[in-house]
Every structure is written in structure tokens, then in C-alpha cells.
């Protein structure tokens, strides 16, 4: 089997994968993609991130509007007040001395009134209070718009990440789905070659016993048979491992048999400028950089808003019948001095905007290069596939001639074995090139943000490698 074949990319049909116990399900590529879109935990996580940011943006839609609050309290208190009465007693004594006849000198003496030296006053009570208050920011210098814009840019970033995840999963599914058929074809070809070589091995054993061939020819046939067994066993093991990967990708408990064959478009796909234009419009990397730039701009606007005055209206009223207390008015707040260097913060946010702009330019260059690389890989695989046709035809013809020669007594069993091994090798390589074409096309579409259009290319294909 071609060593370039990725072991993790496919499922083997049940006819080849004899170790499978569950009933196999035939599944088209479109059905497999639908199952990935609805069942992928990775994709669901990215969508949850988008939904979370969307809900945050929705929650802040009315930021800057009035805030009305209701407050209530129940209370109890116990108050003690100590009053010193000695100064009053002294004052009464002075008044008595100033009388024409002091009270104690009257015919009937009267005592001077005296108060206790101190008196403690106690008060205990319970009650409730209720009020409603409102604050309405009238002017905040654009801070509210900056907050809403920042959260909206975060939502755009999350959406770009979700798109990127979806495109990567589409490419991964292409690798595992169509790699299934490559694995199945390689294993079937190796098994077929093994069956033929086994018959030749048995025939050479009889021919050696009859003295028709030499011992070295018999040993060569035995060596070819052992090598064929190793190749067939390895091909089946690789296919079974690939089968597990595909089944888990599409969240299937039963083996999956891909029934959309490998394909090749013998005519070139759209021109390179077409894909470059689509990439610059759709690539999620550019959308993410744009969202990062928008976040930096909103942070800058927020920093500038803190320099401006803030105007707000306020009011409060007791909730009780009759003559209730209330207050209302308009307030202004303007920070004249702050320990934070606002100029440095504004310069820092400006640098973040510059960073995002530079990153966008670099991303455009990198994406354009990636698209061109992938486009050339698709074209190279297409030409290579077309170039395999003469080799396949030659292998078939050589096998036919070697079979006829052996029957006519002019050829050897070893020559026929070599022809059969070569045919399996050529057929496997042709399927490998078709797989290279399909995966290169998937990577090209991913780099352009067009992964959803892969099925359209499947329908356009004029060569099916069954």
C-alpha cells in the first residue's frame, strides 16, 4: 500500500473488514456531512460561543437607558440620652438668692426646688421605609456605544471561529470519508493478489514435485506469497483503523460504507483569480482580524469617552400616602484629574488598532499564498491522475500476456506473480492520486471559505473511481 495514504482517514466496507460485527450502513457524503454538522461536539461548542456573545449583545442593546429601582427597609431602634441637670440646680439657687426675701427666710420657709443631678431619656420605636428612585444617563460621551460595539465585535469574532471550525471539519470529513474507499480498494487489491499468488504457489509446489521447475523458482514463489500475505494483512489493519475514525467522526455506532466514490474532474476547476477573490471575501481568518480591529477601535472610543463630561438625571420619592418626601434633578460629572494617564491609554488603544491593521495586511498576503498553493495542488493532482491511465492500461496488458504465456508454456509463474503484484500496485497508486485530488480540492475550498460547495464538485465530476 502506498505509504502516503493516511491511516486515520477512512472506513472499510464490511466485505473487506471482516472483523466488523454490526450491520454496515451505506452513507453518501452529503448525509455524512449533515451528521457531522448536527452531531459534532466541536462544532456545537463553537456555536454555543456564538450564541453566548449574541445574547450578551442583546442584553446590552438598551445600555444607557433609565435605571429604576425600588428600595424598602424595616427598622427598630433604642436610643438613650443622658441629661446633666446640675447647671439648672445652680441657676435656681442663684435666682433664690436674688429674691427680696429668700424662700428659706419666709415666715413659712420654702425649700428651693432641686432636680436630680442627671436624667436619662430613653426612646424605643420600630418602623418601615419605602422609596423609588431612578437614574437616567443623558450623555456619557459615547461610552455606551463603545461597550455595545465591543460586544458586537466579539460576537463577530466568535462567528468567524465557528466558521473556521466548520470548514476544518469539512476537510477532515473529506479525508476520512474518501480515504475509506482508498483503504477498501487497497485492501481488496492486496487480497485479490494474495489469492492469485496462493494458487501460483500451490502450482509451483506441484511443478517442483514433477521436476518441471527448479528449486529456486519454487523458493521465489514462496517468498512472493509470504510478502503478499504481509501486504494484505497490513492493508486490512490500516483500513480497520481508518474505519473506526470515520465511524466516530459521523457519530455512528455501526460501520459506515461510503457510497460516494472517489472522483476527479478531468477539466481544470475555476481560475486562480476566482478563488483568490472568494478567499478575500469569505475566509474566516480575515473576518476574525476585522473583528479584532473593531474591538480595538471600540476600546479606543471608550477611552476617549472617559475624558468627556457625563450628564444624568435622577429622582427619588418615598412610597407613602400624603405628603411624601421626594427629590429630583440633573447632575454633571467631569473628571478633571485622575491618577491614570489617559493619554497613555489612548495611545495604547491606538497601537492596538495599528496592530490589527498590520495583521490584516499580513493575513491577506498569507491567505492569497495558501490559496494559490492549494489551487496548484489540485491542478497537479488532476494532471497526475490523467498521466496514470497509460500505466494502468500497460499493467493490464502485461498481466494478460503473462497469463497467456504461462498457459502456453513460454512464461514462468514468477513472471505472472510480478505482473499481478504490479497491477495491484498501479491500481492502488491511481486511487491514491484520486484521493490526493479530492483532499487538495477540499483544502482549496476551505482556504476560500467555500467548503459547503464541495458537494457541487462531486456532482460535476466526470471520472468516478469505484
Those residues whose C-beta lies under 8 Å from the C-beta of residue 429, and which sit 6 or more positions away, are 2, 388, 391
Among residues 139, 162, 182, the one where a domain terminates is 139
CATH number at residue 266: 1.20.1600.10
The three-class DSSP label of residue 344 is helix
Same domain, 41 and 81: no
Tens of pLDDT, residue by residue, the chain (466 residues)? 333 333 333 333 333 344 344 466 788 999 999 999 988 889 999 999 999 999 999 999 888 889 999 999 888 988 887 877 777 767 766 665 666 656 566 566 656 566 677 777 788 888 888 989 999 999 988 889 999 999 999 999 999 999 999 999 999 999 999 988 888 888 887 888 788 778 777 878 887 888 877 888 788 888 888 888 898 888 888 888 888 888 888 888 888 888 899 999 999 999 999 999 999 999 999 999 999 999 999 989 988 888 889 998 989 998 888 888 889 999 898 888 878 888 888 888 889 899 989 999 999 999 999 999 999 999 999 999 999 888 888 888 888 888 888 777 777 767 777 787 788 788 888 889 999 999 999 999 999 999 999 999 999 999 988 7
Same domain, 374 and 354: yes
Same domain, 110 and 217: no
The answer to whether residue 119 is domain-embedded is yes
The answer to whether residue 4 is domain-embedded is no
The answer to whether residue 334 is domain-embedded is no
The answer to whether residue 186 is domain-embedded is yes
User: What DSSP element (H or E) covers 197?
Assistant: helix 143-209
Same domain, 210 and 262: yes
The answer to whether residue 222 is domain-embedded is yes
The answer to whether residue 326 is domain-embedded is no
Same domain, 389 and 446: yes
Residue tagged 430613653 (cell numbers) = 122
Same domain, 105 and 225: no
Distance set, CA 350 to CA 182, 297, 353, 357 (Å): 53, 8, 5, 11
Among residues 139, 167, 194, the one where a domain terminates is 139
Same domain, 303 and 371: yes
- Total structural domains in the chain? 2
The answer to whether residue 109 is domain-embedded is yes
The answer to whether residue 152 is domain-embedded is yes
| Residue-range definition of the domain harbouring residue 118 | 67-139
Cβ atoms of 415 and 402 closer than 8 Å: yes
Among residues 82, 115, 139, the one where a domain terminates is 139
Amino acid at each position: 500500500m502506498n505509504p502516503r495514504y493516511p491511516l486515520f482517514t477512512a472506513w472499510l466496507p464490511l466485505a473487506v473488514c471482516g472483523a466488523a460485527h454490526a450491520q454496515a450502513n451505506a452513507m453518501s457524503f452529503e448525509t455524512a456531512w449533515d451528521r457531522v454538522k448536527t452531531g459534532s461536539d466541536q462544532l456545537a461548542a463553537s456555536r454555543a460561543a456564538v450564541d453566548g456573545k449574541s445574547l450578551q449583545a442583546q442584553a446590552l442593546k438598551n445600555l444607557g437607558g433609565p435605571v429604576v429601582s425600588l428600595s424598602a427597609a424595616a427598622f427598630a431602634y433604642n436610643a438613650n440620652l443622658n441629661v446633666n441637670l446640675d447647671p439648672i440646680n445652680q441657676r435656681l439657687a442663684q435666682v433664690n438668692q436674688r429674691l427680696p426675701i429668700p424662700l428659706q427666710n419666709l415666715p413659712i420657709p420654702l425649700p428651693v426646688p432641686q432636680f436630680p443631678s442627671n436624667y436619662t431619656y430613653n426612646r424605643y420605636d420600630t418602623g418601615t421605609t419605602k422609596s423609588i428612585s431612578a437614574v437616567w444617563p443623558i450623555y456619557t460621551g459615547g461610552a455606551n456605544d463603545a461597550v455595545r460595539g465591543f460586544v458586537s465585535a466579539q460576537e463577530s469574532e466568535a462567528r468567524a471561529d465557528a466558521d473556521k471550525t466548520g470548514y476544518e471539519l469539512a476537510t477532515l470529513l473529506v479525508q476520512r470519508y474518501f480515504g475509506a474507499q482508498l483503504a477498501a480498494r487497497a485492501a481488496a487489491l492486496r487480497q485479490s493478489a494474495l489469492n492469485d499468488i496462493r494458487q501460483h504457489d500451490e502450482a509451483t509446489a506441484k511443478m517442483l514435485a514433477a521436476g518441471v521447475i527448479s528449486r529456486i523458482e519454487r523458493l521465489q514463489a514462496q517468498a512472493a506469497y509470504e510478502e503478499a500475505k504481509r501486504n494484505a494483512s497490513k492493508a486490512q489493519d490500516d483500513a480497520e483503523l481508518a474505519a473506526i475514525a470515520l465511524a466516530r467522526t459521523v457519530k455512528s455506532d455501526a460501520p459506515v460504507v461510503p457510497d460516494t466514490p472517489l472522483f476527479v474532474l478531468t477539466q481544470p476547476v475555476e481560475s486562480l483569480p476566482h478563488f483568490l477573490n472568494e478567499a478575500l471575501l469569505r475566509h474566516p481568518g480575515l473576518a476574525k482580524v476585522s473583528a479584532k480591529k473593531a474591538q480595538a477601535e471600540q476600546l479606543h472610543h471608550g477611552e476617549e469617552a472617559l475624558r468627556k463630561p457625563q450628564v444624568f438625571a435622577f429622582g427619588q420619592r418615598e412610597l407613602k400616602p400624603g405628603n411624601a418626601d421626594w427629590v429630583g434633578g440633573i447632575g454633571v460629572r467631569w473628571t478633571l484629574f485622575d491618577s491614570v494617564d489617559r493619554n497613555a491609554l489612548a495611545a495604547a488603544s491606538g497601537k492596538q488598532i495599528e496592530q490589527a491593521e498590520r495583521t490584516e495586511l499580513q493575513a491577506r498576503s498569507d491567505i492569497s499564498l495558501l490559496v494559490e498553493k492549494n489551487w496548484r495542488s489540485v491542478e497537479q493532482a488532476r494532471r497526475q491522475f490523467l498521466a496514470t491511465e497509460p500505466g494502468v492500461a500497460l499493467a493490464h496488458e502485461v498481466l494478460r500476456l503473462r497469463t497467456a504465456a504461462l498457459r502456453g508454456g513460454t512464461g514462468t509463474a514468477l513472471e505472472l506473480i510480478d505482473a499481478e503484484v504490479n497491477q495491484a500496485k498501479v491500481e492502488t497508486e491511481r486511487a491514491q492520486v484520486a484521493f490526493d485530488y479530492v483532499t487538495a480540492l477540499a483544502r482549496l475550498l476551505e482556504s476560500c471559505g467555500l467548503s459547503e460547495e464541495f458537494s457541487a464538485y462531486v456532482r460535476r465530476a466526470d471520472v468516478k473511481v469505484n
